[in-house]
Amino acid sequence: MNKIIKTANKEAAQVLAWGEARGIETCFSRAEKLKPCPIGESGACCKVCHMGPCRLVGKNAEEEGRGICGATLPVIAARNLARMVAAGTACHGDHGRDMVFTLLAVADGETKDFKIKDVKKLYRVAGIIGVEFEGRPVNDVAKDVAVKFMEDFGRQRGEINYIKRAPKKTQERWRKWGIVPRGIDREVAETLDRTTMGMDADADSILNHALKASLANGWGGSMISTDITDILFGTPNPIKAEASLGIFKDDEVNIVIHGHEPSLAEMIVDVVYEKEMIDYAKSKGAKGINLGGMCCTANEVMMRHGIPTAGGFTNQELGIMTGLIEAMVVDVQCIMPSLTRLAKKFHTKVITTSEKVRMPGAMHIAFDEHRAKEIAREIVKTAIDNFPNRRLEGSRVTERFPVIAGFSHEYIEYMQGGRWRASFRPLNDAIMAGRIRGVVGMAGCDNPRVPSTGMHKFLAIELIKNDVLVVSTGCSSASCGTAGFLTPEMALENAGPGLREVCEAIGIPPILHLGACVDNTRILTIASAMAAEGGLSDEIGGMPAVGIAPEFITEKAISIGCYFAASGVPVIFGGESPVEASKEVTKIMTEVWFERFMGALHFEPDPEKILAMALDYIDQARDRLKLRKYEPGKFGAERVLMDMAARRVLERAAAPHAGVGGINES
């Protein structure tokens, strides 16, 4: 019998095999044992009241099936999807809210540990949301920005602030279909209300509101989070880092920061470089302190500091199984509840830091932005104290892969023309000329139910071979990073001729790491800027662009997929559809949403079909825009892209001391 391949990542497979030989349970072994319930998996199970759960199965379930209350299959499937969106929006909304609280604490002078690092970005954001900034003290501007964003959470009527950031035509579509969010919390609450027993009984209406709740995530909670994180901790520029389960060091104290929120992580990054801490580590027999990340907290600190990542979601247990981690410090989201049980077999301390994430068996050191550094020091000391407890067992990995991360909206704009001519013109021109066929945003989790990371790897390679520029976030970036795909050399070795030329001219990888899950919003603002630049579509819909989440897991991913679809991007999720049972719901999410918004949400388990569907969407968009037909190696005339050398000459002449841009050494 063939052995089941559980992960496509070589280093992960090595650690997993080591653990399996010792009978250690992981998400991979649990996925093997626990088969999904086919009724729940396809969206046909209703458990919103206690007359059920009602399971609508059978040949004519779509037409004739009814729950005890009379709910039809499309209504049940639509409710299930809408509730996933609400949960995802709540998650990212809470993340955004916490960032607003931190900005407010800084503005009010209540914390000395955080500062506003990117004043330019603060002013840019202030300008967008209508906060006066000229000639005012920075903290006053920051306070007004924080207060205005806070209103976005609780607003009962009107529109959230960032709606105006989308192209006019995109906004018009939203207004026409009544899906402009009023307040982030309000749309989450209404989704739960509408989907209780005896409420909205029209699948289309339920799904329309799900889109509204998703926009409260994309153009609300997540976008607020990305922007405040940039304001507080700096807008990313390209930076070198490493990715692999092999980032841990035998002779140093290894600390992993895992989850999503960057505030405490930023403090830990500061503290591990303090001499007092390094000396303390040495006093315990270690040579130093080695900080690594996991999941999206990793993406946040990699983007700004070049901190290495040990990988995405499915690597968290495997990291502990290296036997080298003194402390796994977790904040929020995507933390496996199994960690504490597994950690007991090794010496790793799991440290929870959020009141929202408590785990039996973990040590809890609550984060408080008012005493951030003090708490970070306590955590790092706890890890150092644990170093002498390290045992010898564990599966050591040595291979590591270089990564270039740090592609923010601002840097992508800058790289196309330098400080003085920053724009999206060259990217639009390259697409119009057929050098770049289109753009794919690849996002979402890695999943133990498929060979984990394998779908990301397959699609990333095939897309760039087809001259498609890939922008990645979340665990998609981790999957590409731990495969060695996030380097400029990837363009030379694998990209199609047009994309390779563009990447070589600018000096960028063909897969651009844009950040964490919340940073999918960078894709929305980039698409909006491309629409404003002209020559392609004048709205987000209709661009030769597709979103793919090849191995999605979370409700957050569903919310993200919906806000992309509502914004005008066709989205393809890998795996079985959570609403497969209902043909009507599937039709609404694909055909109806495409008609209304030019976006769609598909589910497709076969990676070859995902690729074909994505390329087809891109080519159809090119046709509609009357762009040159894509043919590999044949391009139309376009402006010459400025390469790095030409850009530096221009900048030196204009501003001899300018320091923006270029790739930072980690």
Where on the chain is the footprint of ligand MSK (CB under 6 A)?
260, 295-296, 312-313, 334, 444-445, 474-475, 516-517, 553-554, 556-557
Q: For ligand MSK, which is the closer residue by CB, 74 or 547?
A: 547
The CA–CA distances, whole Å, from 378 to 264, 297, 382, 580 equal 12, 19, 6, 49
| Token couple for 442 | 């690849």
Distance CA 524, CA 93 (A): 17
- Residue whose CB is less far from ligand MSK, 542 or 561: 561
- The least distance separating ligand MSK from the CB of residue 459, rounded to whole angstroms, comes to 15
Quote the CA–CA distance of 229 and 616 in Å, as a whole number.
36
Neighbouring CB atoms inside 10 A of 360's CB total 7
Closer to ligand MSK by Cβ: residue 439 or 475: 475
- Least Å distance, CB 227 to ligand MSK, is 18
- Smallest separation (angstroms) from ligand MSK to the CB of 83: 17
- 316 versus 528: smaller Cβ distance to ligand MSK: 316
How crowded is residue 337: how many other Cβ atoms within 10 Å of its Cβ? 11
CA-CA-CA-CA torsion sign (304, 292, 520, 229): negative
* Sequence-ordered list of residues with C-beta below 8 angstroms from that of 195, at least 6 positions apart, any chain: 48, 79, 82, 83, 86, 206
Least distance to ligand MSK from the beta carbon of 564, Å?
14
Q: Which is nearer to ligand MSK, 6 or 556 (CB)?
A: 556
List all residues 6 or more positions away from 617 whose beta carbon is below 8 Å from its beta carbon.
544, 546, 570
Contact of 98 with 263, CB cutoff 8 Å? yes
Q: Check: CB of residue 496 under 8 Å from CB of residue 632.
A: yes
User: Where are any strands of DSSP class E within 156-218?
Assistant: none
| Rounded distance between C-alpha atoms, residue 318 and residue 246, angstroms | 11
Whose CA is closest to 62, among 498, 579, 482? 579
The answer to whether the beta carbons of residues 305 and 234 sit under 8 Å apart is no
For 639-663, the DSSP string reads PPPP-HHHHHHHHHHH-TT----SP
Minimum CB distance to ligand MSK smaller for 87 or for 129: 87
Select 281 or 445, whichever has its Cβ closest to ligand MSK. Answer: 445
Q: Least Å distance between CB 334 and ligand MSK?
A: 3
Nearest distance from C-beta of residue 311 to ligand MSK, angstroms = 10
Helices and strands of the chain, counted as H and E runs: 30, 15
Q: Report cis status (omega within 30 of 0) of the bond before 510.
A: no
Long-range contact list for 537-540, CB < 8 A, 24+ apart?
537/621, 537/625, 538/167, 538/169, 539/167, 539/168, 539/169, 539/170, 539/173, 539/568, 539/598, 540/166, 540/167, 540/170, 540/567, 540/568, 540/569, 540/598
Residue 298 Cβ vs ligand MSK, minimum distance, rounded to whole Å: 9
When the beta carbons of 54 and 517 are compared against ligand MSK, the nearer one is 517
- Closest distance between ligand MSK and the C-beta of residue 560, in Å? 9
Residue 216 or 380 having the CB closest to ligand MSK: 216
At its nearest, how many Å lie between ligand MSK and the CB of residue 557? Answer: 6
Nearer to ligand MSK, 231 or 445 (CB): 445
- Between 238 and 474, name the residue whose CB sits nearer to ligand MSK: 474
Is the separation of the CB atoms in 334 and 313 below 8 Å? yes
Q: Measured from the CB of residue 552, what is the shortest distance to ligand MSK in angstroms?
A: 7
- Shorter beta-carbon distance to ligand MSK: residue 291 or 298: 298
Question: Rounded to an integer, what distance in angstroms lies between the CA atom of residue 508 and that of residue 376?
Answer: 35
- Comparing CB distances to ligand MSK, the nearer of 541 and 550 is 550
Rg of the chain on CA atoms, in Å:
24
For 268, how many CA atoms within 13 A lie in the half-sphere containing its CB?
A: 34
CB of 377 to ligand MSK, least distance (A): 26
Query: What is the closest distance, in whole angstroms, from the C-beta atom of residue 330 to ligand MSK in the complex?
Result: 12
Q: Which backbone phi and psi does 345 adopt, to 5 degrees?
A: -75, -15
| Nearest distance, CB of residue 401 and ligand MSK, angstroms | 18
Instruction: Locate 441 and state its tokens.
Output: 């945003």
